[in-house]
Amino acid sequence: MIGKLRKYFFHQAAVGAQNATHFFKKSSAYGAFLHKCYIPDIAYSCNICNIFDRNRTRQKCQIRVRLVRKAPGFLAFADPLPVRNCEELTSTASGHHTRAAEERRSVVSLGKESTMELMEPLAARVRPQTLDEVVGQEHLIGEGKPLRAAIEKKHLFSFILWGPPGAGKTTIARIYARALDAELFELSAVSAGKDDIRKIVELDTHGKSKVLFLDEIHRFNKAQQDFLLPYVESGELTLIGATTENPSFEVISALLSRCRVFVLELLSDDSLRALVKRTKLKVPKAAFDWLATYANGDARRALGLLEGAQSLYGEITADTLSRALESPHLRYDKKGEEHYDTISAFIKSMRASQPDAAFYYLARMVEAGEDPLFIARRMVVFASEDVGLAQPTALVVANAVFRACETIGYPECAINLAHGVAYLAQAKKDRSAYDALLAAQSDVHALGNLPIPKKIRNPVTKLMKELDYGKGYEKYGTESYLPDPLKGKRYLR
């Protein structure tokens, strides 16, 4: 076993990985003992341990210990780590139980020149532990605001945190659970399922409340959310959902009605500055300005890039930040809310005859790699919906843009899109055809299928003719052909 582990670590060093992880099965225990093994000169994450019960019988256990070596050498924990049970130091592969093992871990010195430190991402090391340390989100955690009041009064209730990445959703959930002295379980909806929830429900927490933090709750399908519902409803689980998507679209109504929704905002530059200051890294103003633009309100992104630049180049400047970032990219999830927000802004800019704003949002979509046919389809719809009868050729132009995008593709079809945007944004607007359709649909919904006047029915059989279908019909008649209850109604104005 030791040989395999040593070989595994050397392999990780060879490929330049920073984390080597080996998971062991979870079980109850009274102490943990790390194997002695050789660790190369890399940062690594090591999960190698034995567990001993009262009878000193060795059991296997999963435990995550992140360490970093100053130089290659042998490492060992000389004494067992005192724990009451294994779960205080475990974190399952799907992320289930993340009780702060760091609070119980001690770092062991390994000789005169050799030291070991806990190795965690910078974002984890500076993660706030109390509400007063949290930056941003003043509308939720400021004095007298709802989340602060709930935490201070130890009010146990289910809620959903909706906001962009890196806004503090996980941090707030952990602070909330800690303040209420509850057992916190963390699951990612990407990898978790019904069995994970069932295990948490069945787990004995000795009277403590169970708080389930479900990250990316929008990834749970309807069946999974239905399974979760009765536990939330009965209070067996207090749910904290985290999502970057609009929960009214992604969370079933029955579950949503049992949760409060708190909306988190992008972190401001001032909030990011306070967070960067906490790292104690020297960040010049020019570097911070570059970082803030790149991070776009995402604390995790900012701290990750800071850590990368510091590790690679030993200093943080705008240049080292740029070099540490191999390929800058815009945050744009083609299936997420950012996608819909951007196309909405694009359409509304053309509707308001603001070509400059329309070009900006078009550029954002093009640079993010949005499907050009998706953009062109929306322009075809816009041509009829918003330009309509004021300039009927707009539909011809929009269709031509769609065909050009189909034929040419990126990058050149962006020029065709720009051509179409310039035309549509500056065209006169007339929504009368679209408004007429909406008004007629409203009457259909309200009144149902009203009887069609017999005069304009199609008399295809002898019986129909005997029933006066088509009787008195004139090709160019002036009498209203609307059903009797709607006679005289005008839709097109």
Give the residue-averaged pLDDT of 2-14.
40
Compare 327 and 385 and report the one with higher pLDDT.
385
What's 175's domain CATH number? 3.40.50.300
pLDDT of residue 112: 31
What the block records as the tokens of 322 is: 């740029």
Give the structural domain span for 316. 269-324
Give the residue-averaged pLDDT of 111-136.
69
Q: What is the mean pLDDT of the chain?
A: 76
User: Does residue 460 share a domain with residue 342?
Assistant: no
**Best CA proximity match to 364, nearest among 399, 338, 337:** 338
pLDDT of residue 293: 86
- Per residue in 9-51, pLDDT (tens digit) is 334 433 333 333 332 333 333 233 333 233 333 333 333 333 3
CB atoms within 10 A of CB 21: 15
46-60, 187-201, 315-329, 348-362, range with the lowest pLDDT: 46-60
* Euclidean distance between CA atoms 413 and 81, whole angstroms: 62
Q: How many domains does the chain have?
A: 5
Instruction: Find the length of the chain.
Output: 493
pLDDT of residue 282: 93
* Euclidean distance between CA atoms 65 and 119, whole angstroms: 8
In a domain, 151, yes or no: yes
pLDDT of residue 69: 31
Contacts of 275 (CB under 8 A, 6+ apart): 126, 135, 267, 299, 302, 303
In a domain, 432, yes or no: no
pLDDT surpasses 90 at 326? no
Q: How confident is the model at residue 186 (pLDDT cuts 50, 70, 90)?
A: very high
User: Does residue 468 share a domain with residue 404?
Assistant: no
Contacts of 26 (CB under 8 A, 6+ apart): 61, 62, 86, 87, 90, 92
User: Does residue 214 share a domain with residue 181?
Assistant: yes
User: Does residue 114 share a domain with residue 6?
Assistant: yes
pLDDT surpasses 70 at 173? yes
Residue that is written with structure tokens 């532990």 in the block: 129
* Euclidean distance between CA atoms 20 and 1, whole angstroms: 15
**Best CA proximity match to 215, nearest among 197, 246, 247, 242:** 242
- Per residue in 425-480, pLDDT (tens digit) is 999 999 999 999 999 999 999 888 899 998 899 888 888 888 889 888 888 888 88
User: Does residue 112 share a domain with residue 16?
Assistant: yes
* Euclidean distance between CA atoms 197 and 202, whole angstroms: 9
pLDDT surpasses 60 at 178? yes
In a domain, 163, yes or no: yes
What's 345's domain CATH number? 1.20.272.10
pLDDT surpasses 90 at 162? yes
The rounded percent of the chain whose pLDDT value lies above 90 is 46
Question: How far separated are the first and last CA of the chain, in Å rounded?
Answer: 82
- Per residue in 328-361, pLDDT (tens digit) is 445 555 656 677 888 999 999 999 999 999 999 9
In a domain, 481, yes or no: yes
pLDDT surpasses 80 at 154? yes
What the block records as the tokens of 175 is: 């602070």
In a domain, 22, yes or no: yes
pLDDT surpasses 50 at 171? yes
Helices within 333-428 (DSSP H only): 337-351, 355-367, 372-382, 393-408, 413-426
pLDDT of residue 331: 55
DSSP helix/strand/coil, 295:
helix
* Euclidean distance between CA atoms 384 and 389, whole angstroms: 8
* Euclidean distance between CA atoms 63 and 229, whole angstroms: 31
Is cis: bond before 411, omega within 30 of 0?
yes
In a domain, 314, yes or no: yes
- Per residue in 201-247, pLDDT (tens digit) is 999 888 899 999 999 999 898 999 999 999 999 999 999 999 988 88
* Euclidean distance between CA atoms 195 and 6, whole angstroms: 34
Q: CA geometry: angle at 18 spanning 16 and 23, to 5°?
A: 120
